[in-house]
Amino acid sequence: MDEPPVVVLPLSPDGGRLVTIRGESVGTAYNLFDVMEFLRRAGLPDEDKAIDDPELIEWRGGGPYDWNNTA
């Protein structure tokens, strides 16, 4: 099975999660809204519905609602 075009990596020590799209790093997300913005900028359709689509996004080290919001 091919890797989905979007990969969200586990939390880093600063509480962010690195996001890659098609193998390219697009930045660090600190919440779900950041991930949605990266999807929008990449031109991926229906970014608000894409978070639960395993064919589009692979969530590593926790799902779309797992964030470290202690900062």
Is 58 within 8 Å of 6 (Cβ atoms)?
A: yes
Residue-by-residue DSSP string for 5-37? SEEEEEEPTTS-EEEEETTEEEEEESSHHHHHH
Radius of gyration of the chain (CA): 11
How high does pLDDT run on average in the chain? 88
Q: For residues 19 and 57, what is the distance between their CA atoms, to the nearest angstrom?
A: 10
pLDDT of residue 71: 46
pLDDT of residue 62: 92
**pTM tops 0.85, yes or no:** yes
* Better-predicted residue by pLDDT, 48 or 7: 7
Q: What is the mean pLDDT of residues 38-46?
A: 85
pLDDT of residue 69: 60
Sign of torsion, CA 55 58 62 63?
negative
